[in-house]
Amino acid sequence: MELEKLEKDIGYCFKNKELLKTALTHVSYANERGVKSYEKLEFLGDSILEFISSKYLYNKYLNLTEGELTKVRAQVVCEDSLKDVAMKHKIYDYVLLSKSEKTNEGNKNVSILADCIEAIIAAIYFDSGLEEAEKFIIDNLKASMEYAEKHIGMKDYKTVLQEKLQKNGEVEIKYNIIKEYGPDHDKTFVAEVKCNGKVLAIGEGKNKKTAEMQAAKAALN
């Protein structure tokens, strides 16, 4: 398995290459071959990611309240953000899957790609310590943190719209992704919001959640 290109892409060269290989090994492949999967690395990587992102946000955005910091962090560590990092580094070309998982295009599965990024964080930690893991996290998620901080109010648009539409009784509100365009590493998603089957508005963004928020915002205007 050629991993040198991936190491170059992520900006970190592993002393122990097996750590990186394990971080890319899905449980389906591990069960087939009798090797370790990334599950335990992903478990630790999730905690490291939350700690480092919390520390960064705490020191960077002194004006934000605890609630606002929590909202920003939630957007930064969500699957969509981690998937974007995975797509940027073409993790889909390296993840090890079983034959059946490959057939089902598991290498494009958002959860699998996000898990791989968390596992890589833990692998870097074991290989070189917290400082290098922190560097990887900040290098790859700093832009997401800044974007989330600037658009912190967006998380309320769907709630505000729901309250407005249900003021006089229950209605069915649905969000659908109707289009996506752009290269895999830089996709733009287009979402629509419907109320009782009627399209109210359309919005777009760099991930599905943002597109839905923009659609809700447009429906409120």
- With helix as H, strand as E and coil as C, how does 43-109 read? HHHHHHHHHHHHHHHHHHCCCCCHHHHHHHHHHHCCHHHHHHHHHHCCHHHCCECCHHHHHCCHHHC
Which of 186 and 216 is assigned the larger pLDDT?
A: 216
Look at residue 153 in the predicted model and tell me its pLDDT.
55
Q: Give the orientation angle of helix 130-150 with respect to helix 110-128, to 10 degrees.
A: 140
173-181: strand order across its sheet: 173-181, 188-195, 198-205
Look at residue 158 in the predicted model and tell me its pLDDT.
85
What pairs with residue 25 in β-bridges? 96
Asked if residue 171 lies in contact with residue 49, where contact means CB atoms within 8 angstroms, the answer is no
Look at residue 187 in the predicted model and tell me its pLDDT.
85
Asked if residue 68 lies in contact with residue 54, where contact means CB atoms within 8 angstroms, the answer is no
Active site residues: 46, 118
CA distance 215 to 112: 27
- In three-state secondary structure terms, 111 is helix
Look at residue 46 in the predicted model and tell me its pLDDT.
97
Q: Which residue has the tokens 């097996």?
A: 18
| Least reliable range by pLDDT among 11-15, 128-132, 140-144 | 140-144
Look at residue 145 in the predicted model and tell me its pLDDT.
86
Look at residue 112 in the predicted model and tell me its pLDDT.
94
pLDDT tens, residue by residue, 52-93: 999 999 999 888 889 888 988 988 898 888 999 999 999 999
Q: Which two tokens stand for residue 155?
A: 């998380």
Asked if residue 136 lies in contact with residue 59, where contact means CB atoms within 8 angstroms, the answer is no
CA distance 169 to 195: 12
Look at residue 1 in the predicted model and tell me its pLDDT.
65
What pairs with residue 13 in β-bridges? none
| Least reliable range by pLDDT among 172-176, 209-213, 214-218 | 209-213
Q: Which residue has the tokens 């598991």?
A: 106
- In three-state secondary structure terms, 177 is strand
CA distance 50 to 76: 9
Backbone angles phi and psi of 130, in degrees to 5:
-65, -35
Look at residue 71 in the predicted model and tell me its pLDDT.
84
User: Per-residue pLDDT averaged across 10-17, rounded?
Assistant: 96
pLDDT tens, residue by residue, 21-46: 999 999 999 999 999 999 999 999 99
Instruction: List domains and CATH numbers for the chain.
Output: 4-150 (1.10.1520.10), 155-220 (3.30.160.20)
pLDDT tens, residue by residue, 141-193: 998 888 777 766 555 688 888 888 988 888 999 999 999 998 877 789 999 99
